[in-house]
Chains A and B, each alone.
Chain A
Amino acid sequence: MLIPVTLSLLEGMGTTLKLFFLTLLFALPLGLVISFGSMSRFAPLRWLIQTVVWIIRGSPLMIQILIIFYGPGLLFGLPLLPRFTAALVAFVVNYACYFSEIYRGGIQSVPRGQYEAGQVLGMTKPQIFFKVTLLQVIKRIVPPMGNEFITLVKDTSLVRVISVYELIWMGESYIKKGLIWPLFYTAVFYLILSGILTILLNQMEKKLDYFQ
C-alpha cells in the first residue's frame, strides 16, 4: 500500500510544486512593480494601487480563485480558463500584493542618506536602486519573505475548490477507503518542503550577514 500511496502523493506534489514555483516566478517581479506604484508620487495611481492591494489582501484567496475561474464565464459568457491557469492567476495576483507590501517596507527602511549619497555622487536613479539600495532591501526582506514562501506552500491546497488535484486532494482520497495514515504522510510532504525552504532562506540570510 505504501508504494501506490507514495506514487499518488508524488503526483499531487508535482502540481503543488508547479504552482509554488510559477507563483514565485511571476509574483516576485510583479510585486516589485506594484510596490513602486504604491509609492508613486502621482497620488491617483498610489490610491488605485493601495485600494487594489487592500481588496486582494483583505478578501480570502479562496474567493479570488473561484471568481477568476467562474467569473469570466458567468459575467461575460467567455470560455473558462483552464483550471490550473485560473488558479495560477489568482495566486500570482494575491501573492504579488503581499510581496509588494514587503518590498515597500524594505525600500522605505533604507535610510534617505543612502539615496542622497548616491545622488551627490552623480548616480542616476536606476544606478542608485540597483547598485546601492537593492541589496540592502533584499537583506531586510529575506525574513518576511520566508514567512510568505512557507505560507504559499500550504496555501496551494486551496486550489482544490476548482478541482485542481494537488497534494492534499490525493491524501484525502484515501479517507474514503478507511485509511487515515496517508493524511499524516501528506503532512510529512509539506514538512519536508517547508524544511528545505527554511534551510535555503537561512543560508541566504547568512550570506548577507557580511554587512550591516
Chain B
Amino acid sequence: MSILEVNHIEKHFGATRVLTDISFSLEQGQALSIIGSSGSGKTTLLRCLNFLERPDHGSIAVKGNVIFDANDPKTQLESEIRKKRLHFGLVFQNFNLFPQYTALQNVTLARELLAKERGGESKESIQQAGEELLARMGLADRVGHFPHQLSGGQQQRVAIARALALHPDILCFDEPTSALDPELTGEVLRVIRSLAEQKTTMIIVTHEMAFARDVADQVIFMDSGVIVEQGAPGDVIDHPKEERTKQFLSRYAND
C-alpha cells in the first residue's frame, strides 16, 4: 500500500486553473522530485498536501486513509485539518523560522505545545531530541543562535530539523535552495541527500536537476498545472519522451 495517494486534484484561483487532474502515489521510504518551470503549479501542489490550499476536486489518502476529499465536507473540518497536517512536514523556500526563538526553540516549540495538550513527553526529552536533530544537521554548535545570526544555509537546516521534530510521514520541500547563495546550496542538499539515504519519505520541489536525478526514486515533470511526464529519474530526466519535458530540460543543459 502506498503511503500517499493523490487522486485527480484540481485547483482554481478565481478563473485561473492552476492544477488539473493531478494523480500520483508515493511509497514509504521513497523520494519524489517535482520539476517544472515557475508557475507550473508545483508549489501549489505542495501547499494542497499541507492544507495551506484547499483543492477544488480530488482526494488525498495517507496510509490508505482518505484525509481529504473535495466531495466529502466531513474530511474538511477545521478541527481535523490541524491533526491531518501533521502527516506532512513542509520546508519553505524562505525558511520562515521564528525570529524571536533560538535554533533549538524553533525546533522544539511545536512539539512542546503538542505535548502540553496531549501529555506524554517531558520538556527535557523534547529538548534532547531537538539537540540531536540539530546535531544531525551539523548545527550542534548553533543551538543557541537566533535565526538572524545564522547563514541562509544554516537557517534552512534549522527549518529541516524543525519539520523533522514532529515526525511527519512525508516531508515536503518547496524549492529549499532557491533563496540561497550558490555556495550555500551544497550544505542543504547534502542534508536532504542523507535523509534520502535514511529512507525518509520525501517530496522535493526543486530546480536542481542533477540533485533531483540523484536523490529521487521518482520524478514528476509539471507544466501549466498538469503532470506531463512521471517515472524513474533515468527515464524522465535522461530520456524524456514528451516534447515539453525535452524543451524544459534543454534549458538546464545549456546553463
Contacts and interface: CB of A to CB of B under 8 A. Distances in A.
Pairing of A with B? yes
Interface of A: 111, 113-114, 116-124, 127, 131-132, 135-136, 139, 210-212
A122 B86 contact: yes
B26 to A, nearest CB: 18
Contacts of B98: 114, 117, 132
Given A210-B146, A211-B148, A212-B99, A122 B94 contact: no
Interface of B: 50-52, 82-83, 85-86, 88-90, 92, 94, 96-100, 109-110, 113-114, 146-148, 162-163, 166
Nearest to B99: A211
Contact of B166 (A117, A121, A131): A121
Of B50, B90, B110, chain A has the most CB atoms within 10 Å of the CB of B110
A32 to B, nearest CB: 19
A120 B113 contact: no
Contacts, number: 59
A122 B96 contact: no
A113 B179 CA distance: 14
Contacts of B114: 122
Contact of B110 (A116, A121, A212): A121
A122 B110 contact: yes
Contacts of B96: 111, 113-114, 116-117
Contacts of B109: 121, 131
A212 B146 CA distance: 9
B52 A120 contact: yes
Nearest 4 A-B pairs (CB), nearest first? A121-B110, A113-B96, A117-B96, A212-B148
A131 B116 CA distance: 14
B94 A127 contact: no
Given A122-B110, A123-B113, A116 B162 contact: no
24 contacts: A113-B92, A113-B94, A113-B96, A116-B52, A117-B92, A117-B96, A117-B97, A118-B110, A119-B50, A119-B52, A120-B85, A120-B88, A120-B89, A121-B163, A122-B83, A122-B85, A122-B86, A122-B110, A131-B109, A131-B113, A139-B100, A210-B146, A211-B99, A212-B146
